[in-house]
Amino acid sequence: MESKQEHTPCPTRLAGDRLRSVGLRPTRQRIALAGLLFAKGDRHLTAEELHEEAVSAGVPVSLATVYNTLHQFTDAGMLRVLAVESSKTYFDTNTSDHQHFFIEGDNEVMDIPTGGISIDGLPDVPEGMEVAHIDVIVRLRRKSS
């Protein structure tokens, strides 16, 4: 079924491979959105931001589809949802364990450099449970001076 014209890894191919590796069917829309998402390294973005990028890249896709696709990618482990604000969902292309700064006013999410935070004195967890993940969001604002 697959066309065999390998060698130079183009973004479309990489996106298709990535989708297949997590068990998602590489539809044209998923490939286009994954291509946009993962072409720029680690980043944090909302469905609205990705939708804008898709529109300016000439990808005909609705905001609802972008939203659904982001959640499918998240369920497949390709993205992490950040609970920064209740009004907006930020998706992180870096699914490794790391923490975030959130700049209030600018609504910008930034990674805290590795080793920048240490968490002490965690409570004992109930029997049969383990800590899956700890989210720390350090909220920043610009100094008024």
d(CA 78, CA 72): 9
Minimum CB–partner distance for residue 82 and Zn ion (Å): 7
Q: 16 burial class (0-12, 13-18, 19+ CB within 10 angstroms)?
A: buried
Binding segment (CB under 5 A) for Zn ion, from list 10-18, 55-63, 85-93, 130-138: 85-93
d(CA 95, CA 91): 10
Minimum CB–partner distance for residue 100 and Zn ion (Å): 6
Minimum CB–partner distance for residue 33 and Zn ion (Å): 19
Q: Are the beta carbons of 100 and 110 closer than 8 angstroms?
A: yes
Minimum CB–partner distance for residue 110 and Zn ion (Å): 8
- How many residues of this chain bind Zn ion (CB under 5 A)? 3
Checking DSSP bridges between strand 108-111 and strand 100-103, what pairing results, if any?
Answer: antiparallel
Binding segment (CB under 5 A) for Zn ion, from list 53-61, 70-78, 93-101, 136-144: 93-101
Q: Which is nearer to Zn ion, 55 or 112 (CB)?
A: 112
Q: Does 52 bind Zn ion (CB under 5 A)?
A: no
Q: Which is nearer to Zn ion, 85 or 111 (CB)?
A: 111
Sole residue written with tokens 């069917």: 25
| Interacting residues of 121 by C-beta distance below 8 A, sequence separation 6+ | none
Q: Does 111 bind Zn ion (CB under 5 A)?
A: yes
Q: Which residues bind Zn ion (CB under 5 A)?
A: 92, 94, 111
